[in-house]
Amino acid sequence: MKFGVVTFPGSNCDYDAFAAVKFIIKKDVDFLWHKSESLEGSDVIILPGGFSYGDYLRPGAIARFSPIMKSVIKFARSGGIVVGICNGFQVLLESGLLPGALMRNSHLRFAHRHIYLKVENSLTPFSNACPPGKTLKIPIAHGDGNYYSFRADLEKLRDHGQIVFTYATSDGRVTPEANPNGSLMNIAGICNREGNILGMMPHPERAVEKILGSDDGVYVFNSLVAHFEKQRAATG
């Protein structure tokens, strides 16, 4: 099982994602340069956080047209596992791989602190290792994390179990006070209908050791590993 972490100009969480994979879950991992079109045989692609292309125009708008994204889009459309974190989530939305848009935070301030996530769907490749009922303590760090979508699309997301994570209180109540950025329905992370593409604003790669304030992010990485192990067992 091999991970590929894409580096765009302006990515700044690529090393965190790389380190989480290499040192915490101890899997193969390579950086994938934005100018390359090769995914180097990766089974999981991570689009990391940061400010790709300086966030010029709109976050993710220019990264979406970089050479590596041609291959990532093809990989995702054929069922490959893709995880977009923070700026990576913005890139996935701009690519049209996930529905909706991320707008400026409703209070217009950069939001950076630990929040709690409720796992709304624990049957995805990204959340299957999360203990039932446990909220995940994970940091956020973004200025444009305010998830927006049209009502009809929101209802589809909800009805098809595509809302994977919502902002909640530490005991798992999804309240307006727990919403750090104005996202509709407190949405923090969604997947596509097929369930192979995840976008999330919080940073699981920054919460992988107790010394970082939380190691709950490891559940997301462990879920990916468990998903692949199950798949391997099924195909023999």
Partner 1 sequence: MSKAKAVVYIRLKEGVLDPQGKTISQAMINMGYNEFISVRSGRFFELECETRPDLEQRIEEVCRKLLSNPVVETYRVEMIS
The reply to whether 191 belongs to the active site is: no
What distance in Å separates the CA atoms of residue 193 and residue 170, rounded to the nearest whole number?
28
Task: Say if CB 207 and CB 143 are below 8 A apart.
Answer: no
Which entry of 13, 94, 191, 203 is annotated as an active-site residue?
203
Q: Which residues bind partner 1 (CB under 8 A)?
A: 57-58, 61-62, 65, 93-94, 99-101, 103-108, 146, 148-149, 182
CB of 158 to partner 1, least distance (A): 18
3-state secondary structure labels for all residues of 83-113: EEECHHHHHHHHCCCCCCEEECCCCCCCEEE
CB of 99 to partner 1, least distance (A): 8
The reply to whether 203 belongs to the active site is: yes
CB of 85 to partner 1, least distance (A): 20
What distance in Å separates the CA atoms of residue 1 and residue 92, rounded to the nearest whole number?
23
| Structure-token pair, residue 219 | 């559940």
Which entry of 13, 86, 130, 191 is annotated as an active-site residue?
86
Helices within the chain (DSSP H only)? 14-19, 67-77, 87-94, 151-159, 218-235
The CB-side HSE value for 95 (13 A sphere, CA atoms) comes to: 29
CB of 104 to partner 1, least distance (A): 6
Which entry of 120, 191, 205, 227 is annotated as an active-site residue?
205
CB of 229 to partner 1, least distance (A): 36
Nearest to 139 by CA among 8, 16, 11: 16
The three-state secondary structure class of 194 is coil
- Go through the chain and tell me how many residues it has: 236
Please, what sign has the CA dihedral across residues 141, 48, 34, 69? negative
Residues catalogued as catalytic: 86, 203, 205
